[in-house]
Amino acid sequence: MQALLVVLLINAFIFILCALVALSGQFLRQSGEADLTVNKGVAHQVGRGQSLLPALAEAGVFLPAACGGKGTCGRCEVKVIAGGSAVTPMETILLSPQHLQALARLACQVKIRQNIEIEVAESLLAAKLLRARLESSQTVAEDIKTLQFSIQGNEELVFKPGQYLQIFYQMPWERVLRAYSISSPDSVKNGFSLDVQRVSGGVVSSYLHQLQPGVELEISGPFGEMFLSDENAHYPIILVAGGVGLAPLRSILEKLRELGFQKPVWLFHGARSRRNLYCEEYFRDLAKSNESFRYFPALSNPLLEEGWVGSRGMIHELLEQQQFADAAAVVAFVCGPTPMMQAVTKVLVAKGVASDRILTDPFDFS
């Protein structure tokens, strides 16, 4: 009885604390507004107390924020001409002293305390806000679902295969965002698919996994420098994915398939066990019907009952065993956890692939 009372008291305390945090956030926002001027344009009124990243979103400017605003990806860089808050320790890690001197800042680290004037690179102004409706949700592997969305209104999603979107999710006390790669080809303009892995204790991935068709989400994008350009589509291509890192590579592969595989394409996909591997049957069939396409799955921990007779081990080890004619012409796309991408890049370089032709996009910024 006493223990139950203690648990109840602790829960009540946590609840009151959360409510206070939420209220203080609201209070800070309501305690005034400031002018936000972007590229010498019209000033936007934004709430004080918040960081520049969501304030910019209020003003219709959607910056890439792969780490979700934790200050660890360095993608939300802007120039603060006047009115910025003090430089944070995260900024001193990610921005060089010369950069800081040239007024570079990370938008997620700058707090709006007064009128503020900033410059945003023109190339970052293309992303827009869209509403997307979930049409279907299909489990494709253990903890991975493919979600099909349609774009609402008269908007179109124009992106390059390999790019990602940012999903907004409203928590009781703040709006958060997370990056998810588009796994469908860019030929589809009125919709897109995402492959989402549920992360244990993860806020947004858990939310997306329990979503029912009909729900609408706010998304911004497209973002990302790892994409298939028109020029690269004419070179031999190596795609290497770790787990759900397959998502952007699926989009690239579909584009190459639509173009009729003009040059050889190799897909390497690493997973823990067969239940974590997805699209296996589709890729095997594709490899049977297209001799330019080759598929190499590898499992690091196959389960006995899965009867796996394919390659075992880490994906970079399987890559190491292959020979690539004309490696100097190869363009490689690598996506997955950072240690896997580092190991793969090392192997590719040793095989003769030029490092500036190896395009990567890490999923993990902690």
Strand partners, 336: 362
Q: Select the binding partner of residue 366 from ligand FAD, ligand FES, none (C-beta < 5 to 8 A, by kind).
A: ligand FAD
Nearer to ligand FAD by Cβ, of 164 and 293: the residue is 164
Tell me the backbone φ, ψ of residue 258, rounded to 5 degrees.
-60, -30
AA identity, residue 233: A
165 binds ligand FES (CB under 6 A): no
Nearer to ligand FES by Cβ, of 176 and 188: the residue is 176
AA identity, residue 307: G
Q: How far is Cα 294 from Cα 325, in angstroms, rounded to an integer?
A: 14
- Neighbouring residues of 218: CB distance < 8 A, sequence distance ≥ 6: 129, 130, 131, 132, 167, 168
178 binds ligand FES (CB under 6 A): no
Q: Select the binding partner of residue 106 from ligand FAD, ligand FES, none (C-beta < 5 to 8 A, by kind).
A: ligand FES
204 binds ligand FAD (CB under 6 A): yes
Binding mask 9-48 for ligand FAD (x = CB under 6 A): ----------------------------------------
Nearest residue to ligand FAD, using CB?
202
Q: Select the binding partner of residue 164 from ligand FES, ligand FAD, none (C-beta < 5 to 8 A, by kind).
A: ligand FAD
- Neighbouring residues of 63: CB distance < 8 A, sequence distance ≥ 6: 53, 56, 75, 76, 78, 107, 120, 124, 127
Q: Select the binding partner of residue 181 from ligand FES, ligand FAD, none (C-beta < 5 to 8 A, by kind).
A: ligand FAD
Burial 150-184 (b: 16+ CB within 10 A, else e): ebeeeeebebbbbbbbbbbbeeeeeeebbbbbbbb
Residues 58-77, interacting with ligand FES (CB under 6 A): 65-67, 69, 71-76
CB of 60 to ligand FES, least distance (A): 18
Q: Select the binding partner of residue 71 from ligand FES, ligand FAD, none (C-beta < 5 to 8 A, by kind).
A: ligand FES
Q: How far is Cα 210 from Cα 205, in angstroms, rounded to an integer?
A: 9
84 binds ligand FES (CB under 6 A): no
Two tokens at 166? 């940012």
Coil vs helix vs strand at 204: helix
- Neighbouring residues of 111: CB distance < 8 A, sequence distance ≥ 6: 49, 50, 51, 52, 85
363 binds ligand FAD (CB under 6 A): yes
Sign of CA dihedral 56, 60, 66, 68: positive
Q: How far is Cα 16 from Cα 168, in angstroms, rounded to an integer?
A: 26
Q: How far is Cα 165 from Cα 177, in angstroms, rounded to an integer?
A: 10
Nearer to ligand FES by Cβ, of 319 and 335: the residue is 335
124 binds ligand FES (CB under 6 A): no
- Please name which of 25, 256, 277, 36 lies closest in space to residue 143, comparing C-alpha atoms: 277
Nearer to ligand FAD by Cβ, of 157 and 244: the residue is 244
What is the number of other CB atoms lying within 10 angstroms of the CB of residue 337?
A: 15
332 binds ligand FES (CB under 6 A): no
196 binds ligand FAD (CB under 6 A): yes
Residues 64-103, interacting with ligand FAD (CB under 6 A): 66
Size of the site for ligand FAD (CB under 6 A): 24
Coil vs helix vs strand at 172: coil
177 binds ligand FES (CB under 6 A): no
106 binds ligand FES (CB under 6 A): yes
Two tokens at 312? 């075992």
319 binds ligand FAD (CB under 6 A): no
Nearer to ligand FAD by Cβ, of 102 and 126: the residue is 126
Q: Select the binding partner of residue 363 from ligand FAD, ligand FES, none (C-beta < 5 to 8 A, by kind).
A: ligand FAD
Q: Which residues form the interface with ligand FAD (CB under 6 A)?
A: 66, 164, 178-181, 194-197, 199, 201-206, 244, 247, 361, 363-366
Could you list the residues that contact ligand FES (CB under 6 A)?
65-67, 69, 71-76, 106, 108
